[in-house]
Amino acid sequence: SIPLSFFGGIGGSSKIGVLVKGSNYLEALAHAETVVFDKTGTLTKGSFAVSKILPVGMKEPQFLELAAYAEDYSNHPISLSIKKVYGKKIDSSRITDVKEIAGHGVQSIIDGKIVFAGNAKLMEKEHISFTPAATVGTVVYLACDGKYAGCIVIEDEIKEDSSAAIKALKSVGVRKSVMLTGDADAVGRKVADRLGLDQAYTELLPADKVDRVEELLQQKSEKGTLVFVGDGINDAPVLARADVGIAMGGLGSDAAIEAADIVLMTDEPSKIAAVIRIARKTICIAN
């Protein structure tokens, strides 16, 4: 039977905006040893500000339209910010095919032309010759009909409470805080350094993220647990593989909220240490 105090733990968590889907997850959280974070939308706001629009061989409005149309079907935070800057209604009848290329970007057929929008890795994969942008911001490169069409530089911001969240994890005894990201190395390093994370892995594909989590599971002690925190976009497999999967309730995808064991309704990473504290208290009373 489940001790009554477990329900108290779930209730206490819900009061601070954390949805815990079962008492077993509180037990696992009480032994949190490694906490692994996704970057975009988890440690950073994911609502990017577009800082540069650099078309090649076309006018800016035409270029921005192409980018917004290419991104029409994607829910990635990058896609949302491009569509926000474009600001106009999208005529979906012009888009006849779409494909998300996990960890790379998107491929769409617009007015019968193949359009790619994504990172440098995507351009390389598609043999598009392009000029890498000299910036630490996240860059979305565009290609239309096999030709490079320019890039958009977007700057994401670290969430106000991310730094405090990492410190709080240390203070509740979490040994290792790690970041996994599909973003460029320069961008990932900058975020990791600012936040004082113990480890950071960059330029990862979704499958690489699973491999890193497997390694981290091997490295922890037998009693300790591994917690993964993400928004579910391109990281659903790791959410499932971790001992405890935590999803962002606000920004996160419906699939992630469904797949997660715990949901942060306010998207604030500092709630993780708070719920670990609640879990510890609950376990203590229960035993």
Contact set with Mg ion (CB under 5 A):
38, 40, 233-234
Instruction: Show Cβ contacts of residue 277 under 8 Å, excluding neighbours closer than 6 positions.
Output: 172
**Closer by beta carbon to ligand ADP, 87 or else 171:** 87
Contact partner at residue 268 from ligand ADP, Mg ion, none, CB < 5 to 8 Å by partner kind: none
**Closer by beta carbon to ligand ADP, 6 or else 141:** 141
Contact at 8 Å (CB) between 52 and 85?
A: no
Whether 38 is a known active-site residue: answer: yes
Based on the number of CB atoms within 10 Å of its own CB, is 268 exposed (0-12), middle (13-18) or buried (19 or more)?
A: buried
Smallest separation (angstroms) from ligand ADP to the CB of 30: 28
Structure-token pair, residue 186 = 């320069």
**Closer by beta carbon to ligand ADP, 119 or else 282:** 119
Among 38, 156, 231, 267, which one carries the catalytic annotation? 38
Q: Does 232 bind ligand ADP (CB under 6 A)?
A: no
β-pair type (147-155, 49-55): antiparallel
Which residue's CB atom is positioned nearest to ligand ADP? Answer: 182
Smallest separation (angstroms) from ligand ADP to the CB of 173: 26
Residue 211's H or E segment, with its range, is helix 206-219
Contact partner at residue 229 from ligand ADP, Mg ion, none, CB < 5 to 8 Å by partner kind: none
Largest Cα separation within the chain, whole Å, is 69
β-pair type (49-55, 95-101): unpaired
Vertex 210 angle, CA 213 and 48, to 5°:
95
Could you report how far apart the first and last alpha carbons of the chain are, in Å? Answer: 13
β-pair type (262-264, 18-20): antiparallel
Strand-pair partners of 264: 18, 248
Smallest separation (angstroms) from ligand ADP to the CB of 112: 21
Binding mask 161-200 for ligand ADP (x = CB under 6 A): --------------------xxx-----------------
Q: Which listed residue (23, 107, 234, 282) binds ligand ADP by CB under 6 A?
A: 234
> Binding to ligand ADP (CB under 6 A): which residues in 95-114?
103-106
Smallest separation (angstroms) from ligand ADP to the CB of 243: 21
E-only strand ranges, 102-224: 105-110, 113-118, 138-144, 147-155, 176-180, 199-201
> Binding to ligand ADP (CB under 6 A): which residues in 20-79?
38-40, 71, 74, 76, 78-79
Q: Is 119 helix (H, G, I), strand (E, B) or coil?
A: coil
Smallest separation (angstroms) from ligand ADP to the CB of 152: 9
Q: Which positions lie near ligand ADP, rule CB under 6 A?
A: 38-40, 71, 74, 76, 78-79, 103-106, 117-119, 138, 140, 181-183, 233-234
Give the catalytic positions in this structure: 38
